[in-house]
């Protein structure tokens, strides 16, 4: 049988939703609801076998069992996969997730925090843009559980889950250096966010340690992918000395593969490739692309654990917890220096 | 300066949110709020320069400017891309989108409709699972704008946007027949949903029209991708006569490419391939995969137009509108019969 809501009952009896709610919560006398009306509500509820949903009950108890999840962009495969994992883990714990995308837009993010707040969510999971420290601190000060992920805000006092961006980029660059490449470019999105600046400085440290030249292309993110492919394509055409590329994000890597394909450049013979984040494209490309894989199952698990810790007020816990997870190399064939192999033989 | 919410003001003045709200909406006298309190609220609001947010105003006017979007699974690239497009179009029209995933679970979908309803959304965009006709009809009867997409529910009286699934599958199968393939399989997810049954019957019509054999593999969707790849791999190993495959959905196609790669089968020499939905994997695979591309920009645009029409009550409109859009072949190299080409030369 179809589950009835308080609204359905109110509708059927032609009374207000709050009247029905007061009756079901034993507040009829307090609210001076007539005995006749109380018995009509109770009779109907008994007839239809209504049981209050956990969410409806939550609205009355002040707990909604809903968590607001704000990602940078839901069409980014990294965020879409993380969102899915967070959702299924939260669901097992009795929570439902509502998502939205911030597009890294500070004003939009502020407005969306307000949307969630007015909609009575129990907690927030946010990949924040720059500039929302005040809003996040206001939430945590109000006792709201907040977990940041993918990047952090230096002045926000919230829990966070991140990867070791700097050392991941350092190690990937090192891997290319050890293969004998000497003109290694870093192609990434221009961004002030901590995860992107961490990757950039990891790349630079490894390059400078060897006394090699720094070659950085920062693409302005553009929903029109063709223009980004063109930017990468122009850069590679104008810098023919580049013999290897580290891509700083999955969408940069995919644009890069499209640019390399268009330019008819062979991987790894003409240009070796490593990209941040793993993706089906990298697994299925010929040759398969070596990737810096984020532990997305563990990221999702840690986010939910931190949030649940905050949601159970009895539990003692730290002022804030910052969790840094390791990435894993998926070593495939795109980073191998074939000339170097031959020399070594 | 940070934007204050009604909750912040209430907090600062140590009064209830509804008190603040009543004062700001000129209902203080009606609600018997003391003049002293009214002046405290008004003074503070003036001091901090509070202006009610459009959303907060919406809560009072009964309009939230929020649309609830329910997709099957946000980690499916088709839904992630559609969600993004819907969001950016809605945003331009002054609406914000909150999403959730239904996992095609009827009970979960019912609960999530209730979540949105209690959170005062202005309209719903839903890719529905089977069995939620009653809930959808209850929404439309209550005057709620609802647009279904990707699949329809025969007994739901809501607007919908779909593609011509049956003729798309028919034409794709026809394309393989015209290339001279005679043992064409259809590999898809087992599903009772209209879009999937449409694709299946389009395939069958084309095959039966030619008197060829029907070869159908219906995979049970499983979040563990490896088990689905194994299913496809086993099927292809046990049916070595198959010379071409039409994949019924993007995730089936990606699993299929992984299975073919594992089996070391060459495309199109050993098995020709066409897949529903376009994807970066299909563009970048060697050889590039011929795809039945859905017009996702137009789908998103039509969904938003239908919804806006319903949201402006002055406009006259039909009881319900069902829009069927055409797909487009992205003809690449995976469907070409090389033997057939040679014969034709």
Tens-digit pLDDT profile for residues A99-132: 999 999 999 999 999 999 988 899 999 999 999 9
Say how far apart CA A64 and CA A57 lie, in whole Å.
Answer: 8
Q: Please indicate if any CB of chain B lies within 8 Å of the CB of A97.
A: yes
| Least reliable range by pLDDT among A23-27, B118-122, B157-161 | A23-27
A residues 157-216 closer than 8 Å to B (CB): none
Closest C-alpha to B287, from B335, B320, B328: B335
- Quote the pLDDT of residue B28: 76
Say how far apart CA B70 and CA B127 lie, in whole Å.
Answer: 6
Distances (CA, A) of A214 to A78, A172, A266, B303: 27, 15, 23, 47
Closest C-alpha to A108, from B88, B307, B303: B88
Closest C-alpha to B128, from B143, B139, B142, B141: B139
Residue range A238-252: mean pLDDT, rounded: 97
- Quote the pLDDT of residue A44: 81
- B294: CB partners within 8 A, 6+ apart: B78, B163, B277, B278, B325, B327
Q: How confident is the prediction for chain A on average, in pLDDT?
A: 89
Say how far apart CA B65 and CA B97 lie, in whole Å.
Answer: 9
A304 CA: distance to closest CA in chain B (Å): 17
Residue A272 binned pLDDT confidence (cut-offs 50, 70, 90) = very high
- Quote the pLDDT of residue B157: 87
Of A8, A100, A118, the CB nearest to B56: A118
Q: Percentage of chain A with pLDDT > 70?
A: 90
Binary contact (A99, B100; C-beta < 8 A): yes
* Cis peptide upstream of residue B345 (ω within 30 degrees of 0): no
**Chain A residues touching residue B96 (CB < 8 angstroms):** 100, 111-112, 115
Binary contact (B99, A99; C-beta < 8 A): yes
Binary contact (B74, A99; C-beta < 8 A): yes
Backbone φ, ψ for residue A188 (5° rounding): -150, 180
Neighbours of A146 (CB within 10 A): 27
Nearest CA in chain B to A78: B75
**Chain B residues touching residue A66 (CB < 8 angstroms):** 115
Residue range B52-68: mean pLDDT, rounded: 65
Closest C-alpha to B163, from B176, B145, B149, B173: B149
A8-39 tens-digit pLDDT: 888 888 888 888 877 776 667 767 888 888 88
Q: Please indicate if any CB of chain A lies within 8 Å of the CB of B88.
A: yes
Say how far apart CA B26 and CA A121 lie, in whole Å.
Answer: 28
Q: Please indicate if any CB of chain A lies within 8 Å of the CB of B98.
A: yes
DSSP secondary structure letters along A195-257: HHHHHHHHHHHHHHHTTPPPEEEEEPP-S-HHHHHHHHHHHHHH-TT--EEEESSHHHHHHHH
Binary contact (B284, A254; C-beta < 8 A): yes
- Quote the pLDDT of residue A159: 94
Binary contact (B100, A100; C-beta < 8 A): no
Say how far apart CA B185 and CA B207 lie, in whole Å.
Answer: 10
- Quote the pLDDT of residue B314: 66
Distances (CA, A) of A112 to A85, B134, B147: 22, 31, 23
Which tokens go with A176? 């290319």
Beta carbons of B243 and B181 less than 8 angstroms apart? yes
Of A7, A114, A134, the CB nearest to B117: A7
Which one of A100, A155, A259 would you mutate to disrupt binding with B, by most B Cβ within 10 Å of its Cβ? A100
| Least reliable range by pLDDT among A224-228, B87-91, B188-192, B313-317 | B313-317
Handedness of CA A296, A297, A302, A305 (dihedral sign): positive
Which tokens go with B306? 């239908």
Q: How confident is the prediction for chain B on average, in pLDDT?
A: 89
Say how far apart CA B158 and CA B307 lie, in whole Å.
Answer: 11
Question: Residue A340: pLDDT above 90?
Answer: no
Helices A54-61 and B106-118 pack at an angle, to 10 degrees, of 30
- Quote the pLDDT of residue B38: 84
Q: What is chain B's Cα-based Rg?
A: 26
Say how far apart CA A247 and CA B124 lie, in whole Å.
Answer: 39
Helix/strand/coil (H/E/C) assignment for every residue in B11-66: HHHCCCHHHHHHHHCCCCCCCCCCHHHHHHHHHHHHHHCCCCCHHHHHHHHCCCCE
CATH numbers and ranges of domains, chain B: 6-60 (1.10.260), 63-162+296-325 (3.40.50.2300), 165-294+329-344 (3.40.50.2300)
Helices B77-92 and B296-311 pack at an angle, to 10 degrees, of 40
Say how far apart CA B158 and CA B148 lie, in whole Å.
Answer: 7
Distances (CA, A) of B94 to B63, B86, B91: 12, 12, 5
Give SS3 for B106. helix
Which tokens go with B270? 């050993």
Beta carbons of B321 and B303 less than 8 angstroms apart? no
Beta carbons of B273 and B331 less than 8 angstroms apart? no
B254-298 tens-digit pLDDT: 999 999 999 999 999 999 999 999 999 999 999 999 999 999 999
Say how far apart CA A329 and CA A75 lie, in whole Å.
Answer: 24
Q: How far apart are the first and last CA of chain A?
A: 73
Residue range A245-273: mean pLDDT, rounded: 97
Q: How far is CA B91 from the centre of its chain?
A: 17
A184-202 tens-digit pLDDT: 999 999 999 999 999 999 9
- Quote the pLDDT of residue A3: 56
Residue range A207-219: mean pLDDT, rounded: 97
Q: What is chain A's Cα-based Rg?
A: 26
- Quote the pLDDT of residue B59: 46
Residue of higher predicted confidence among A98 and B8: A98
| Least reliable range by pLDDT among A24-33, A70-79, B54-63 | B54-63
Question: Residue B55: pLDDT above 50?
Answer: no
- Quote the pLDDT of residue B19: 84
Neighbours of A22 (CB within 10 A): 21
Residue range A325-342: mean pLDDT, rounded: 89
Say how far apart CA B245 and CA A75 lie, in whole Å.
Answer: 28
- Quote the pLDDT of residue A318: 67
Q: How far is CA B107 from the centre of its chain?
A: 18
B233 CA: distance to closest CA in chain A (Å): 16
Say how far apart CA B250 and CA B231 lie, in whole Å.
Answer: 16
Which one of B30-44, B101-115, B233-247 scores highest in mean pLDDT? B233-247
B208 CA: distance to closest CA in chain A (Å): 34
């Amino acid at each position: 049988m179809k589950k009835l809501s308080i609204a359905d009952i109110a509708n059927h009896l032609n009374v207000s939703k709050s009247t029905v709610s007061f009756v079901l919560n034993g507040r009829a006398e307090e609210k001076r609801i007539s005995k006749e009306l109380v018995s009509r509500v109770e009779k109907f509820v008994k007839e239809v076998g209504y049981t209050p949903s956990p969410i409806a009950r939550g609205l009355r108890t002040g707990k909604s069992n809903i968590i607001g999840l704000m990602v940078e962009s839901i069409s980014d495969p990294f965020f879409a996969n993380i969102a899915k994992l967070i959702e299924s883990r939260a669901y097992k714990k009795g929570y439902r997730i509502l998502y939205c995308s911030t597009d890294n837009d500070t004003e939009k993010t502020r407005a969306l925090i307000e949307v969630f707040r007015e909609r009575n969510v129990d907690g927030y999971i946010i990949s924040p843009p720059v500039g929302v420290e005040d809003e996040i601190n206001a939430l945590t000060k109000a006792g709201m559980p907040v977990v940041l992920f993918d990047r952090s805000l230096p002045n926000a006092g919230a829990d966070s889950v991140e990867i070791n961006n700097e050392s991941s980029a350092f190690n990937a660059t090192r891997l290319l250096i050890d293969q004998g490449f000497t003109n290694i470019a870093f192609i990434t999105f221009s961004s002030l966010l901590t995860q992107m600046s961490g990757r950039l400085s990891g790349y630079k440290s490894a390059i400078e340690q060897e006394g090699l030249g720094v070659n950085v292309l920062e693409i302005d993110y553009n929903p029109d992918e063709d223009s980004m492919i063109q930017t990468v394509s122009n850069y590679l055409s104008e810098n023919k000395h580049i013999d290897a590329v580290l891509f700083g994000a999955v969408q940069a890597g995919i644009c890069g593969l499209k640019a390399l394909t268009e330019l008819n450049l062979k991987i790894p013979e003409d240009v070796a490739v490593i990209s941040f984040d793993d993706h089906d494209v990298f697994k299925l490309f010929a040759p398969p692309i070596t990737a810096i894989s984020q532990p997305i199952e563990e990221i999702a698990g840690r986010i939910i654990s931190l949030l649940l810790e905050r949601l159970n007020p009895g539990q003692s816990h730290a002022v804030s917890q910052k969790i840094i997870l390791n990435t894993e190399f998926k070593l495939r064939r795109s980073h191998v220096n074939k000339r170097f192999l031959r020399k070594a033989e």
